[in-house]
Amino acid sequence: MARPSTKVAVIGHRNPDTDSICSAIAYAELKNTLGPLKYEARRAGKLNQESEFVLNRFGFGSPRLCTDLSPKVRDVDFREMDGIPENCSLRKAWRIMRDREIDTLPVVDEDRVMKGIITVKDIATANMDVFDTGVLAKSHTSYRNILETLEGCMLTGDENGFVEKGKVMVGAASPDIMETYLEDGDIVILSNRYESQLCAIEMNASLIIVCQGAAVGRTILKLAEENGVSIMSVPMDTYAAGKLITQCAPVSYCMTDSSKIMKFTLVTPVDDAIRVMASVRHRYFPILDEEGKYCGMLSRRNVINMRRRKVILVDHNEKTQAVEGYDQAEILEIIDHHRIGSLETGSPVYFRNQPVGCTATIVAQMYAEAGVTPRKQVAGILLAAILSDTLVFRSPTCTDVDLHTAERLAQLAEVDIQSFAADMFEAGERVDGKTAEEVFLQDFKVFMCGDVRFGVAQGTFMTQKNLETARKLLSGYLTEALYKQNVEDIYVLLTDIPKTCSVVLCTGAHAEKLLEVGFADAKPQQEGGVLLPDIISRKKQFIPAIMGAYQRL
């Protein structure tokens, strides 16, 4: 069975914005063009309206959601052993375990649906239970299993048949004695004694096993056929045949049923698997794929060889903004345009951080440096990210590099910057039909200043009407957001792009005081909130000022 391959995840921050999503998609495509590894753009949260508009506009689907980078069972070098069918004999199962040097085998059907597991201990227990002479009938053993285990051949009867009833008897006694305990439907293991063979037929045995490859007379074969008695010839003696006969039973007879087995899936967190392994006394645990089909076995030893997931982070380097489990992943690269944050790595990584208005600008530069021209669609999403993050070049974070890059990308994407930007912002700022939480989380980030944890959300608006609607919707939600996000203070920037200003809504232990300290020209509004003239950039204007206020406080 094919082992599912693990791709390098290219992922932005939680509550992703357009730059986070588009930069991840574009950079994953560049890396797939250049490198031997496989890369996949992922998202750490729900797409906002603006990002949905951009992806639809240029024909991209939404990246798959990834909320946790902690290692999963699929990242472990588990054993990819094939399963055996339910009708496999105990003898054959034991041989497989011996040859593979393992003590557990999965039992599956033809569609890889898990039926149970069989262990060396199960086989040993069954082999020691030598007094259960009715085991073949109880387990509905096939004649094929008997032929395979005893290395015999069918002389009369149907080799596709099954043992339906009766017990096993080794017929070393005389016919007179055999008649006293031989019953209808029994299986008799005999030598080449004609009288004993005839007695078994007359007593209506279901199967006669003739040992040591002895020839069976025509009269016996004819009588057996007439009376519906099957005859097998095996090369071993009666002692060996008697020892092996119970090992012809199918594994289904003594396996542990699937319903009683602790199983894992490919996406089971390794930490959860370790906890189960510590409390359940099995050496191997079955693994199921996304369709619930068997795909391998996991042991404690396998966990030691766990492979950490590989990831590239774009548009962030703050641990509060990174997806859960980032610290258990192997970070290969960080591509960002924000301040150097609190994220730490266990080993050196490629870290590219430039003071430009958008991560997409850096990604576009990397295309040029690699001598790769982005496809028309990729150029379109990179342009959209730049226009979004720089507020169509109005933001103080915007540089000449952003402007020139956007102009070049617009030519490749064959779009008009101003008309496209107007459509994009109109799609992104609509709040009709949305809850306060949905609007709040469209662009929300958490920051740390010392021991203080605070959050800042931002919405950008081209029309005053939509801004006022958002203000009314969010004003009563901030206290709930404070609790849900587990922060001390919360700020929401409602940015008026045409007027190049922002109205800030806030709540928390220090929020109102810090706005006064951080912004000398802050103006409280009768409608609620505080007006910050000329403040439109969270990254370059609001965060540095509010960080300074926290430090002074």
Domains of the chain: 8-71+309-428 (3.90.1640.10), 74-126+253-304 (3.10.580.10), 142-248 (3.40.1390.20), 436-552 (3.10.310.20)
Give the N- to C-terminal CA distance of the chain in Å, as an integer. 61
Report the pLDDT value the prediction gives residue 2, as an integer from 0 to 100.
45
Strand order in 104-108's β-sheet?
A: 104-108, 114-119, 256-257
H runs (alpha helix) in 430-510: 436-440, 464-475, 478-485
d(CA 34, CA 30): 6
Strand order in 230-233's β-sheet?
A: 153-156, 230-233, 207-210, 187-190, 168-170
Count the alpha carbons within 13 Å of 551 in the hemisphere toward its beta carbon: 7
The length of the chain, given as a count of residues: 553
Report the pLDDT value the prediction gives residue 1, as an integer from 0 to 100.
45
Report the pLDDT value the prediction gives residue 267, as an integer from 0 to 100.
87
Strands (E), 30-77: 39-43, 64-65
Report the pLDDT value the prediction gives residue 509, as an integer from 0 to 100.
87
Low-confidence residues of the chain: pLDDT under 70:
1-5, 129-131, 171-173, 305
d(CA 155, CA 157): 7
Strand order in 64-65's β-sheet?
A: 64-65, 39-43, 8-11, 310-314, 330-336, 350-353
3-state SS class at 188: strand
Strand duo 64-65 + 168-170: pairing = unpaired
Q: What is the pTM of this model?
A: 0.68
Mean of per-residue pLDDT scores for the chain: 90
d(CA 62, CA 56): 9
For 148, phi then psi, to 5°, come to -70, -45
81 class by beta-carbon count within 10 Å (0-12 exposed, 13-18 middle, 19+ buried): middle
DSSP symbol at 245:
G
Name 446's Cβ contacts closer than 8 Å, sequence gap at least 6.
Answer: 318, 320, 321, 453, 454, 455, 485, 487
Instruction: Yes or no: say if 326 and 304 are a contact pair by the CB < 8 Å rule.
Output: no
Report the pLDDT value the prediction gives residue 306, as an integer from 0 to 100.
73
Residues linked to residue 490 through DSSP beta bridges, in sequence order: 455, 507
d(CA 83, CA 96): 11
Closest to 420 (Cα-Cα) out of 63, 59, 50, 62: 50
Report the pLDDT value the prediction gives residue 307, as an integer from 0 to 100.
76
d(CA 355, CA 397): 8
- How far CA 391 is from CA of 167, 169, 408, in Å, comes to 86, 90, 18
Work out the number of other CB atoms within 10 angstroms of the CB of residue 84: 20
d(CA 311, CA 27): 12
